Amino acid sequence: MSALRDSLRGRVWLVTLAALVTLFLVNLALQPNLLTPNVLKSNLTVFLPLVLVAIGQTYVILGGDIDLSVGSIVALVNVVTVSVIAMTGGETGGILLGIAAGILTGLACGLFNGVLIAILRFQPIVTTFATGIIFGGLALRVLPTAGLPVPAGYWRTYAGNVLGIPTVLWIFVFALLAIAFIARRPFLTHLMATGGLRTAAFQTGLRVGPIRIGAYMLSGLFSAFAALCLTGETASGDPLMGRLLALSSISAVVLGGTALAGGRGSAFGSLLGALVIGMISNVIFFAAIPFEYQTLTTGLITLLALAGGVLVSRR
Amino acid sequence: MTQTPSAEPSPARALHAQGVTKRFGAITALSSGRISVGKGEIHALLGANGCGKSTLCKIIAGTVSRDGGTLEIDGRPADLKSPREAEALGVALFYQELSLVPQLSVADNIFLGHEPRNAAGFVDRRRLIADTEVLIARFSAVAGSGFAAGTNVSRLSPDQRQIVEILKVLARNPSIIIFDEATAALDKRQVDLFFSILRTLKAEGVAIIFISHRMDEVFEIADRITVMRNGETVAEYGAGEVDRDTVVHDMVGKLADHQREARPPRPAGETPRLVVSSVSGGRLRDVSFSVAPGEILGLGGLQGQGQSAILQGLFGAEPFARGEVSVDGRPVRLRRPADAIRAGLAYVSGDRGRDAALHGRSIFENIAAATLVSERRRFVWPSALKPRFEKAAAGLNTKYAGMEAPIGSLSGGNQQKIFIARWLATDASILLLDDPTKGIDLGAKGDFFELARDLAAKGTSIVFYASEDAELLGLCDRILVFNSGAVTAELSGDTRDAFHLTRAAYGETA
């Protein structure tokens, strides 16, 4: 048993994977057509934004910080993208310009957070809570009410196929490749050292400030990707989009075995964690649990999944 | 050796620092630091606690910036603003407080910031592991079990971590290395191997500054010795042309002996209040002593040799692994602070912010904290307790606006008095003082010692650790000197002076 614990300690995501398989089988029992391509694709479409935000959140948490502003970044990127597309007309060039503007917005939000926290040494939780309100306020300034549809070219591409494979699957595969890419850069080791023991990282000569800023910018970047997906799903602008993403993404990160204290964990685990959270709401929905019990049950299952990881990894 | 201040560039000189000064707030850490190390030379830097040797090393390594003086590396003036810049010039510092990240593997730690990369900029894991294994092989005979490139540092023992730290320094191929207490956690075999590596580095022309708390090691390995005292370099000589007592005399200086204050001899045949027998665990190795009622026992030696560990162990904060403790003849088990409080022990830490203060709460609440535990109170009637606390605080000559004022409104010295009052209110019979005057101004220090003497006169037993030798010599009846977690000497009567204290701190038995 202790040998099992030893081998699992560094790989809490295996527990998350087990939870995911279990939930998938339960879902399959409740919803026999789960394995048809269309259902799988619609599930992935629903899960994708949280998966992307959780990946970005992982890097911030690995660095020993936290980002509560991701939901508002999603909203701000969404309204900036739809507004830029509307301004430039609905042609392909305009759409690409809108996407670029959205991505730059996400990076700028991350840079803003990172400078406040890593250079000016503000406290991360409070700072990103406040910048979240600021980004949300900016989103309302850009687009006061929901609306402003995006051109059909945008959402048709997102809902359709590219080279015979669903766009959402492409995005999912690109997310996996991005994780693998970052995992092999020295940056990730430096980030984990920064989150693990900041004084040691500094004494070793690492540039702790830029490293933490880099993590916040990754979080902003992945939030922007999530916003572009949500824009494809809803096909319009909504300044109040993504409200629950901050805490859901943190849950996904923790479910995936990343320590909130920093220094330990993986973005792949967070991806699995985000899928678990998505599957939980699927199972609740198809289990025909009365509406008034759904939230309660979601909470209990999330707690159970978290407890599994904690019990396995505890000394 | 003659020194010219303007130090013409000499090809054989790797490092030359002269007239280096550094102030931290009101405290002058360095008033005139000087060290000069040649290529292929092992240079020992010695001095008592707080003499400035660590500060000088940190300045050379770029972690602390200097206020004045000159620093030359390889004959060129160097103005270092960060560890990174020092590293670029070939300087590597072995950190006394370890610089390892526990969550990362041995390989990741050793090459942190210097990971081997392939053409595309990815980490070359295969080369990383291979390079690490080559380094580990140097220590493989003495590294112990479970020491591999992929092992997480959090799973290593203290001596293995120290070896990783050494390897991390070696992996950077530096031309100047500062080993600050690099042998502290190593056993004899590991030290021997480490020294053979140092000799290899020396043959390669590396300049090495070696700081150790063991005089034997210094005379075994060093070519030259620089001695510092009170922030100033006071002597430099070849290791072969000097004897140990001269070195100790230079560390202590002439003035030190006048600081001693005569203490009345203890009556013979007293029954001890506190008896500690053969406690071990953590850094401690088989420590035994006893304290009589009304006695002030000092714990001396260089910093971090186990003095705080004894006090925290007695208070149950870091319980001992082995050994026995008895109070007034009754054995006590000290597994957590509440056990210690009920056995009549009290602990005052120099780190008030971390260990003592209830921030933002009133003076009343801060005093009450210990009483509530010792008397197992479930309900609190402030009006009944207040007169008691006011009496306890008044005895200390403490200035405060009122019991309801927040603790933060007081100066460091007055806060420390409030934390003493916290324990006086519990009628503690044994007071453990863990470097209590850290960051307190001189006037408040005087008051504090006056108070400690009064308490001892009334029969309280005091165990006192101070990082400043003068405080120990001024206050204590007896001093136990610690080195590497064990007691190397007990000083009382004639031997209670700065010379014997410093000599014992460096591991020389009295």
For B4-55, the three-class secondary structure string (H helix, E strand, C coil) is CCCCCCCCCEEEEEEEEEEEECCEEEEEEEEEEEECCCEEEEECCCCCCHHH
Three-state SS string over A213-271 comes to: HHHHHHHHHHHHHHHHHHHHHHCEECCCCCCCHHHHHHHHHHHCCCCCCCCCCCHHHHH
Residue B472 lies in a domain: yes
Domain boundary among B222, B252, B282: B252
Architecture of domain A2-314: Orthogonal Bundle (1.10)
Q: Is B267 on the interface with A (CB under 8 A)?
A: no
User: Considering only CB atoms, which chain B residues are within 8 Å of A180?
Assistant: none
Q: Any CB–CB contact under 8 A between B108 and chain A?
A: yes
Secondary structure (3-state) at B69: strand
HSE toward the beta carbon, residue A206, CA cutoff 13 A: 33
Contacts of B404 (CB under 8 A, 6+ apart): B362, B363, B364
B111 with B244, same domain? yes
User: Mean pLDDT over residues B103-112, rounded?
Assistant: 90
Q: Which residues contact B359 (CB under 8 A, 6 or more apart)?
A: B353, B407, B408
Q: Which residues constitute the domain of residue B199?
A: 13-252
Q: Considering the domain boundaries, does residue B8 fall inside one?
A: no
Same-domain pairing of B177 and B55: yes
B206 and B302 co-located in one domain? no
CA distance A154 to chain B (A): 34
The whole-angstrom distance between B372's CA and the closest CA on chain A is 33
Angstrom distance (rounded) from CA A264 to CA A64: 9
Q: What is the C-alpha to C-alpha distance for residues A276 and A305, in angstroms, rounded to an integer?
A: 9
Cβ distance of B99 and A192 shorter than 8 Å: no
**Whole-prediction pTM value?**
0.73
Please check whether residue B257 lies inside any domain of the structure. Answer: no
Do residues B320 and B413 both lie within one domain?
yes
- Please tell me the distance from the alpha carbon of residue B17 to that of residue A245, in angstroms, as a whole number: 56
Residues B164 and B290 both lie in one domain: no
**Pair B298, B442 in one domain:** yes
Q: Give the tens place of pLDDT for each residue, B92-107.
A: 888 766 688 988 999 9
Do B170 and B34 belong to one domain? yes
Give the single-character DSSP code of B123.
Answer: B
Rounded CA-CA distance B341/B133 in Å is: 50
Considering the domain boundaries, does residue B323 fall inside one? yes
Contact B37, B207 (CB under 8 A): yes
Judging contacts by C-beta atoms under 8 Å, the chain B residues touching residue A199 are 97, 99
Tell me if A203 and B95 make a contact (CB, 8 A cut-off). yes
**Beta-bridge mates of residue B45:** B226
pLDDT of B3 reads 43
Between residues B181 and A185, the one the model is more confident about: A185
Cross-chain Cβ contact B108/A193 below 8 Å: yes
**B70-98 average pLDDT score:** 84
- The two tokens of residue B391 are 């009496």
Instruction: Evaluate whether B111 touches B128 at the Cβ level (below 8 Å).
Output: yes
In a domain, B269, yes or no: no
Contact predicate A192/A62, CB 8 Å:
yes
B245 and B300 both lie in a single domain: no
Q: Do B103 and A184 touch (CB under 8 A)?
A: no
Angstrom distance (rounded) from CA A189 to CA A166: 34
Residue B312: inside a domain: yes
Task: Extract the runs of DSSP E, i.e. beta strands, from chain A.
Answer: 147-149, 161-162, 165-166, 236-237
Same domain, B224 and B163: yes
Distance, in angstroms, between A273 CA and closest chain B CA? Answer: 21
The answer to whether residues B294 and B229 belong to one domain is: no
The enclosing domain of B496 has a CATH number of 3.40.50.300
Distance CA B310, CA B289 (A): 11
- Do B488 and B481 contact (CB within 8 A), yes or no? yes
Nearest by CB to residue B122, choosing from A185, A193, A197, is A185
How many structural domains are present in chain B? Answer: 2
Any residues with CB less than 8 A from the CB of B319 and at least 6 apart, and which?
Answer: B281, B313, B334, B335, B336
Contacts for A100 with CB less than 8 Å, ≥ 6 apart: none
Q: Where are the domains of chain A?
A: 2-314
B460, burial (CB in 10 Å: exposed 0-12, middle 13-18, buried 19+): buried
Residues B367 and B450 in one domain: yes
Are B190 and B293 in a shared domain? Answer: no
Tokens standing for residue A160: 């359709």
How confident is the prediction along chain A (315 residues), in pLDDT tens digits per residue? 445 555 555 567 788 888 889 989 998 888 888 888 888 888 899 999 999 999 999 999 999 999 999 999 999 999 999 999 988 877 888 889 999 999 999 999 999 999 999 999 899 999 999 999 999 999 999 988 888 888 888 888 888 888 888 999 999 999 999 999 999 999 999 999 999 888 888 888 888 999 999 999 999 999 999 999 999 988 888 888 888 898 889 989 988 888 888 888 899 989 999 998 888 888 888 888 887 887 888 788 778 777 776 676 554
| Residue B66, token pair as written in the block | 């200097």
Instruction: Say if B363 falls within a structural domain.
Output: yes
Looking at the domain assignment, is residue B1 inside a domain?
A: no
Asked if A189 lies within 8 A of B115 by C-beta distance, the reply is yes
